[in-house]
């Protein structure tokens, strides 16, 4: 079990390095701040794009944080999310 936990910890660390959650949080704050500017709403296409990006970022940040919490609490659930992100990162790197 400890060997599995250590392998999973390495996989989680790799994901966290590639995703860089702090940059995602900064991007989210910046986008949310933009929505408070009255000129933001003048370009409806740009506003629509930003308004789609905000919930996507929130979801990604929540999932990443959940991965970290689950790693300590429920290793099997954490492994499912880690696998999902490994696949996602694999496909993103191919684009």
pLDDT in tens, 57-75: 999 899 889 888 988 888 8
Q: 2-94 adopts what CATH topology? A: Methane Monooxygenase Hydroxylase; Chain G, domain 1 (1.20.58)
Q: Is 20 left (phi over 0), alpha (psi -120 to 50) or beta?
A: left
pTM above 0.85, yes or no: no
Residue 1 has pLDDT above 80, yes or no: no
Look-up: residue for tokens 């060997």? 3
Q: Mapping DSSP to helix (H, G, I), strand (E, B) and coil, where does residue 43 land?
A: coil
Give me the residue spans of the domains in the chain.
Answer: 2-94
For residue 87, give both structure tokens. 């696949």
Q: At what angle do helices 75-94 and 2-19 cross, to 10 degrees?
A: 40
Cβ neighbours of 65 (radius 10 Å): 12
Q: Could you read off the pLDDT of 80-91 as tens digits, one per residue?
A: 889 988 988 888
């Amino acid at each position: 079990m400890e060997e599995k936990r250590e392998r999973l910890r390495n996989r989680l660390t790799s994901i966290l390095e590639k995703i860089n959650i702090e940059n995602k949080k900064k991007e989210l704050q910046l986008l949310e701040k933009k929505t408070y500017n009255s000129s933001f709403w003048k370009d409806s296409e740009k506003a629509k794009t930003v308004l789609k990006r905000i919930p996507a970022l929130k979801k990604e940040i929540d999932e990443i944080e959940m991965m970290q919490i689950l790693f300590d609490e429920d290793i099997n659930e954490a492994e499912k999310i880690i696998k999902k992100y490994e696949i996602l990162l694999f496909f993103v790197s191919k684009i």
